[in-house]
Structure 1
């Protein structure tokens, strides 16, 4: 059986380490935003860490952060663990977390933030729901969920995001760029009533959720 793709782009590889063209373009601007969003001495759980470049960039910008990689894909975890070798005191060995698995948060410690980039549109909606539910279990008081990626905004949606949504649904009907209001509703059901959107390049956003 052919494995489903874990990315929608061609990636370079050196040993176990992978390089994402999109992460190469966005990791620094994301890191700059996370520098201001994350509290001091933050313990962060990243969901669907992919190549591992985002966590590496964030830790390079803030030496007080502890970053936990995770991914359901073994080859992605190997890449993340290779990037970890450059910051072994901050980056933690990757965990095989799957947001569609029941009680995926079982046995995990508490965190100050849960971060996920470009995951919820290349996964069934159950992955977003599982992310919200699990975050509610493992976030400390004052903790935040930070999502990065494209979102739809009804009639105000960017044409490029609408086209991307069609492309994703053609690949897999369970995928798709999610409406801002739907994501907001999913996290509100899990107790995250605070939310804010930060505009990012290329019609992407950072969506921050809190219990406020």
Structure 2
């Protein structure tokens, strides 16, 4: 099949990888939520051979993701999982980290607490949740381009929109995820990193 391609993934893959390297060990098992085209997965797994990168997304996106993963050696290729944040099924495995890029402003806001709660369950103690994308702060846009992007998102679908950092962090805290870093990224994006506290088994 023709591989799906997102120019933004091509641009932001290396800056994101630089930040992931600061938070994750050279050997790690990582779940990606909303793998989209699959470009990030191939880039990160190629750059870090000891990362076991597990893609997931809604069913309709899995063939495109698989097409990108075909470039990996067979022994390192993990079949992408069907995962809808609302309905699951969420994996039973425990991961060292969970990563998601440009998903919170696409999903309905009601999906955000589910994502935080289920991600916390899927993380090992001390595991990290890393989320990339644009965020608002103190109820306002962080740049004119983000304001324009938010307007475009809402024209596409009323449930979409840039989320408030404070509201997202409150959901993370409710799921016993502690913020470690809020790092500025190119094009007015952020890389947020939370760490899982000890949770009951």
- Give the RMSD, CA atoms, in angstroms: 1.6
Per-residue deviation at 1:16?
4.0
Residues in 1 aligned to 2:180 and 2:168: alpha-carbon distance in whole angstroms: 10
State the TM-score, normalizing by the size of structure 2. 0.90
Secondary structure, counterpart of 1:45 in structure 2: strand
Secondary structure, counterpart of 2:80 in structure 1: strand
Residue 69 of structure 2 corresponds to 84
Residues in 2 aligned to 1:16 and 1:142: alpha-carbon distance in whole angstroms: 39
Residue 26 of structure 2 corresponds to 40
Secondary structure, counterpart of 2:55 in structure 1: strand
Residues in 1 aligned to 2:29 and 2:77: alpha-carbon distance in whole angstroms: 10
Deviation track 1:142-180 (CA, whole Å, cap 9, x = no partner) reads 101110111111346212112211221232221110011
Secondary structure, counterpart of 1:193 in structure 2: strand
Q: Relative to structure 1, is the Cα distance of residues 197 and 89 closer, same or farther in structure 2, using a 3 angstrom cutoff?
A: farther
Q: Which residues in structure 2 correspond to 1:123-134 (within 5 Å)?
A: 123-134=107-118
- Structure number with the bigger relative contact order (C-alpha 8 A, sep ≥ 6) is 2
Secondary structure, counterpart of 1:122 in structure 2: coil
Residue 68 of structure 1 corresponds to 54
Structure 2: gaps (5+ residues): none
Aligned with residue 182 of structure 1, among 167, 183, 199? 167
Residue 102 of structure 2 corresponds to 118
Residues in 1 aligned to 2:180 and 2:157: alpha-carbon distance in whole angstroms: 29
Say whether residues 1:150 and 2:122 are aligned partners.
no
Structure 1: gaps (5+ residues): 1-14
Residues in 1 aligned to 2:124 and 2:196: alpha-carbon distance in whole angstroms: 10
